């Protein structure tokens, strides 16, 4: 993967986060996460980018960069396939220091949420089973590591790509930009950094009521599987849920009660409400920052997300 550092610096210098296509070097949105957008920069069609404008100091950005690479290497040790990836720290005057996470680009139709949305029941469930099998590798790794290292994972459908090089399918995990892992029981991620993307007027509420849940849910096998199955509502495939629950219960360790439809429905309703409100408040924060305070809003917000 070839990265043009001068192109990236010039892109950041002339970036309009609210109108990427109007930036000095235009960019195109190719996907959305709950927190940030994934985009392609004109002049580099082989890669996609995530931009994290979270840092006031170079050292903080470098620490996050090191954490990102350590987490990626640990996922590979656990048995996952990751796309080719690199990072760059970009600092331009009068803007926060940004960490760019760069990955090789896959065709959109190979994203697993697209495949499940457009494929028949048999193929979709086979894909779900493969994803569950890969997530299960994380829990096996955690148990073998004896708490020295404990990995978390966000296993939702849009975080996986099914590629077919030379006819042999491989499943890639692509959501590595928010490393969550513990070493000797100590969380390595700084929760205050995760709050940077939240509206300032909501941070104390999120810190008090929601942050602990966000920081811990992806360590729980049952909650990660529940999130994956509930994701089928978002992808307009509720017809797959009962069969997907049966698949999940084959992978759950004995100490967990079997997953039920009621648990999936409750999780989906709560999760949908939280993320819908969060995005609405971020858009309000953007309006207040750009229209009333006449300042630049640094985050590239997702567009409308169907849930």
pLDDT digits (tens, 9 = 90+) for 229-279: 999 999 999 999 999 999 999 999 999 999 999 999 999 998 888 888 888
pTM, two decimal places: 0.92
Every domain of the chain with CATH number 3.30.200 lies at 5-104
- The whole-number pLDDT of residue 301 equals 82
pLDDT digits (tens, 9 = 90+) for 180-238: 999 999 999 998 888 888 888 888 888 887 778 888 999 999 999 999 999 999 999 99
Distance, CA of 205 to CA of 47 (rounded, Å): 37
| Residue 138, pLDDT above cutoff 90 | yes
| Residue 304, pLDDT above cutoff 80 | no
CATH of 5-104, one of 3.30.200, 1.20.1270, 3.30.2310, 3.40.50: 3.30.200
Q: What is the mean pLDDT of the chain?
A: 91
Sign of CA dihedral 208, 156, 158, 183: positive
| Residue 36, pLDDT above cutoff 70 | yes
27 class by beta-carbon count within 10 Å (0-12 exposed, 13-18 middle, 19+ buried): buried
């Amino acid at each position: 993967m070839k990265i043009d550092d001068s192109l990236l610096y010039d892109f950041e210098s002339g970036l309009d986060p609210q109108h990427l296509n109007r930036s000095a070097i235009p960019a195109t949105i190719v996907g959305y996460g709950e927190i940030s957008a994934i985009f392609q920069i004109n002049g580099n069609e082989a890669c996609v980018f995530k931009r994290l404008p979270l840092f006031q100091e170079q050292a903080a950005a470098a620490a996050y960069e090191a954490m990102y690479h350590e987490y990626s290497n640990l996922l590979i040790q656990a048995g996952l396939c990751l796309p080719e990836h690199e990072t760059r720290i970009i600092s331009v005057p009068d803007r926060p220091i940004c960490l760019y996470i760069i990955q090789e680009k896959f065709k959109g139709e190979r994203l697993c949420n697209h495949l499940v949305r457009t494929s028949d029941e048999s193929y979709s469930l086979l894909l779900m089973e493969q994803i569950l099998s890969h997530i299960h590798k994380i829990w096996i790794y955690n148990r073998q590591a004896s708490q020295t290292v404990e990995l978390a994972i966000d296993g939702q459908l849009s975080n996986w790509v099914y590629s077919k090089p030379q006819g042999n399918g491989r499943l890639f995990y692509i959501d590595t930009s928010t490393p969550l892992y513990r070493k000797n029981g100590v969380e390595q991620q700084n929760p205050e950094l995760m709050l940077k993307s939240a509206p300032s007027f909501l941070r104390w509420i999120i810190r008090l009521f929601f942050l602990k849940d966000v920081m811990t849910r992806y360590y729980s096998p049952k909650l990660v599987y529940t999130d994956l199955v509930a994701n089928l509502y978002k992808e307009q495939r509720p017809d797959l849920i009962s069969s997907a629950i049966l698949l999940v219960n084959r992978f759950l360790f004995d100490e967990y009660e079997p997953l039920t439809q009621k648990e999936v429905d409750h999780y989906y309703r709560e999760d949908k409400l939280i993320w819908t409100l969060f995005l609405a408040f971020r858009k309000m924060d953007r309006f207040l920052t750009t229209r009333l305070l006449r300042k630049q809003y640094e985050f590239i917000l997702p567009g409308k997300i169907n849930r």
